[in-house]
Each structure stands twice: as structure tokens, then as C-alpha cells.
Amino acid sequence: MVGEFKPGLEGVPAALSSISYVDGREGILEYRGIRIEELAKYSTFLETAYLLIWGVLPTQEELAAFEHEIRYHRRIKYRIRDMMKCFPESGHPMDALQASAAALGLFYSRRDLQNPEYIRGAVVRLLAKIPTMVAAFQLIRKGNDPVSPRDDLDYSANFLYMLSEKEPDPLAARVFDICLTLHAEHTINASTFSAMVTASTLTDPYAVIASAVGTLGGPLHGGANEEVITMLEEIGSVENVPAYLEKCLQTKSKIMGFGHRVYKVKDPRATILQQLAEQLFEKFGRDEYYDIAIALEKAVEAELGHKGIHPNVDFYSGLVYRKLGIPTDLFTPIFAISRVAGWLAHWKEQLAENRIYRPTQIYTGQRNAPYIEIDKRTAADTEALIAAGAAS
Ligand code: CMC
């Protein structure tokens, strides 16, 4: 029996999951039952990743062992670096990341999905190597050799170091680590669903992550954080905010960093990110775009707040990354570095009770259409087929 068609599968439950919980009306996000505000305050990204993937907070010994394994696996094979050197410098870093993540499957091709040690090895490798690959492409496209990870630096400080070749300020590293925690998981969004569909075929975890990276890149999903900065650049000054908003409303174009399929109030992550941005501005100087962002948030609230359109996670994350000196087109790869934790948690959950995803469709095309030989086809035939929906 075919059920009711819901465009974008809105509101259709596609899985049972105990990984994260969102209450879009109250603005609540929990990972394994723990509020995001608590995790942002007290946890670290790697501890949160462990929580998401194994379902419980690690003991001190478990966390130390996990961090140690990740430190040990941060390096990438020289052949992966050489492969990345062949990528065009003008290519988007998300495409470079997707290709590199998929390439890991060539090097670690044994697939043993029933074996907990294999699962742990893949989790560790992906969490460890994805940041190194993002940083490597950044240096390679500038014409430099990638730098090796530094074993004396923790996960986030090491990533910022690999990106800039400078040891980061401790506040910058801590703020960045909180950003990773905030983006680590968010129920079944498009990229997570993509990971789950790929996982359900029992393919290897590198293909799972590569498919999720490809999905995250779109401007309606992870790519929105880059678009927010482009939009703030385009607005240019606080005085231009009303005219910009008016134009968006008239042309019915989306204001980037606003709106969410689930949240109908301000995204709790946006609130935390705004506070982090302010901490950075206090120490390193205010960002000129922050005033535009605040004015835009106020104006959008007034015009669209009643429709449940409020800032989402992407609205303030770009301002934080900009203050950390990160190039705009790395914002989405950084989202991916973090979301790998959530994707892996869903991969593991999917494997525990797998059934291949195979939804149905409602066919709207022609039936029993004639095959017209090529020399007898006319433009009118093609138009008739298009009108009948067969060529759409
Ligand atoms: N600006 C202006 N109007 C909006 C916006 C926006 N950003 N978002 C939604 N609306 C309006 C939309 O025009 C529609 O109005 P109406 O009912 O009058 O036609 C109504 O709100 C419902 O919008 P929708 O597009 O049907 O909602 P959705 O649940 O399908 O889309 C969304 C959610 C996130 C794709 C959308 O809000 C959007 O495109 N936002 C801008 C891009 C963005 O910031 N994306 C990041 C999302 S959060 C992080 C992530 O998922 O990666």
C-alpha cells in the first residue's frame, strides 16, 4: 500500500534512534539525553564524539585511550597527499574532502562490519584523518606542503595549527572545539539520512562518510554558513539591512542562516555561537559584520518571526570562523569534521538493526508509450511527451 506523499519526507519517521533529540518549539537539543548547553560548557569535542558513537560518556581512562588512538592515526598516507596535489586549486574544499574521504576506502578496504574492533578502527581513522585532509588541501592549494600533525596539541588546537602553521591562542582553540561539539549531531537531517541510506547497503564506512560529505555541501544544508558571509558582504553596512531584507521579501528569496525544518524558535546552537563570537570579539577585536548580523536578525524577527523563521546554527558560526582567520570556503568542511561524529553514530546504530532503505514512489509518467524510431521523431512528438510528463 502506498502512503501519503510528503515532499522532502517532512514529518515522516524514517528510523528509530537514541542518538539525539530536538524539540523545535522549545529550542532544545540533546545528545544522548544531555543538553547541548551542558556539553558546550563542560565537554570536549572528542568526549562528545565518544558519547554520540558509544552512547555513554567515557571514563577518564576510556577517554584517554580514545584520544591517544586518534592522535596516533592523525597522519595521512603520502599517496593521499599526492592524490590531493593533483586536485585543481580552484576546486571547492568540500569536493576535495569528499574525494579524499572516499579514497580512504582504497587504503583500508577490509570490511568486517560485525567486528567491534573494525568499527572502532574505522571510527578512529575517520575522526583522526578528516581534519588532516581538510588542512592538507588548504596548504596544497596555496602551493605549500601540508604540515604534519603535532602530537603535543589536542584535537582542535592541532587542526588550527595544521591550517595556519601557527600554534593557536588557547581561547581560539577552545572556542573552535565548542563549535565542533555544537555541530556534531542533529537527528536525521539530509546528510545523516544520506549516510544512513549508504550504510544500509552494508558498504564500507568511508563510502558512508563520502556520501554524507557530498550531501552536506549544498547551500540549503551545511553550505549555508558560507552563504551567510557572502550575504553580509553584499549587505555591506547596517544602513543597507532594511533595503536588503525588502528585496529578499519581494523576490521571495531565502535569507541565509535563517529558518529550519525543525526549529520554530531561535536555534539553541545559534545562541551559544553568538556568545562565543562575542568572547572572541572581546579578546581579538570586533568584527565589522557582527553589527550587520545583529541588525539583520532584528529585522528578520520583525518581518518573519511570526512564521517561525529565526537564526539557525549557520548564522553565527561563520562569524566565529572568520574571527579565527579561517577562509570562508572551509566553513562547510569544518562542519563536516564535526558531523563525522554524528554520521558515525548513525552508521553504528544502522548496522545494529539494519534494513536496506528502499522507499517507494508515486509514478506520474506515461504507461505503454510507443517507441518512435529516431528518423521518424519530430519536435512535436518530444513536446507531446514533455507535456505528458514522460520526459521530466
Ligand atoms: N528566508 C526567508 N523565508 C524563509 C526562510 C528564509 N531563510 N526559510 C523559510 N522561509 C519561508 C519560506 O519562504 C516559506 O514561506 P511560505 O510558507 O510563505 O512559502 C516558509 O518559510 C517555509 O519554508 P520552507 O522552505 O518550506 O521550509 P523548509 O523546512 O523546507 O526549509 C530550510 C528549511 C532550512 C531549507 C530553509 O529555511 C532555508 O532554505 N533556509 C536558508 C538556508 C539555510 O540557512 N540553511 C541552513 C539550515 S540549518 C543547518 C543545516 O541544516 O545544515
CA of 373 to the centre of ligand 1 (A): 45
pLDDT digits (tens, 9 = 90+) for 21-74: 999 999 999 999 999 999 999 999 999 999 999 999 999 999 999 999 999 999
Residue for grid cell 604540515:
147
Provide the phi-psi class of 187: left if phi over 0, else alpha when psi is between -120 and 50, else beta.
left
pLDDT of the residue at 392: 47
The torsion angle over the Cα atoms of residues 121, 126, 131 and 136, rounded to 10 degrees, is 90
Place of cell 573494525: 118
AA letter at 390: A
Could you give the 3-state DSSP secondary structure of residue 305?
helix
Helices 331-352 & 224-235 angle (0-180, nearest 10): 160
Q: One-letter amino acid identity for 206?
A: Y
3-class DSSP state of 155: helix
Q: State pTM to two decimals.
A: 0.92
233 burial (CB, 10 Å; 0-12 / 13-18 / 19+) is exposed
The 3-state secondary structure of 223-289 reads: CHHHHHHHHHHHHCCHHHHHHHHHHHHHHCCCCCCECCCCCCCCCHHHHHHHHHHHHHHHHHCCCHH
Q: Any residues with CB less than 8 A from the CB of 18 and at least 6 apart, and which?
A: 32, 55, 349
88 CA from centroid of ligand 1 (Å): 33
User: From CA 293, how far away is CA 300, in angstroms rounded?
Assistant: 10
118-to-125, 205, 338, 350 alpha-carbon distances in Å: 10, 10, 21, 16
314 carries an active-site annotation:
yes
Give dist(CA 36, CA 45) in Å, integer.
Answer: 12
Hey, whose CA ends up nearest to atom 36 of ligand 1? 259
Which DSSP letter does residue 296 get?
H
Strand order in the sheet with 20-23: 20-23, 28-31, 34-35
pLDDT on residue 139: 98
Catalytic residue status for 260? yes
Buried b vs exposed e over 257-267: b needs ≥16 C-beta within 10 Å?
bbbbebbbbbb
Cβ 223 under 6 angstroms from ligand 1: no
Most informative mutation of 309, 310, 334, 343 for ligand 1 (most atoms within 8 A of CB): 309
* Domains of the chain, start order: 7-222+327-352 (1.10.580.10), 224-322 (1.10.230.10)
* Residue indicated by cell numbers 553565527: 316
* Distance between Cα 257 and ligand 1 center (Å): 9
Give pLDDT < 70 ranges for the chain.
1, 388-392
Distances in whole angstroms, Cα of residue 60 to Cα of each of 19, 48, 63, 133: 22, 13, 5, 28
How many angstroms from the chain centroid is the CA of residue 110? 27
- For residue 50, give the nearest of 169, 184, 208, 207 by alpha carbon: 184
Give, using CA atoms, the residue closest to atom 32 of ligand 1: 260
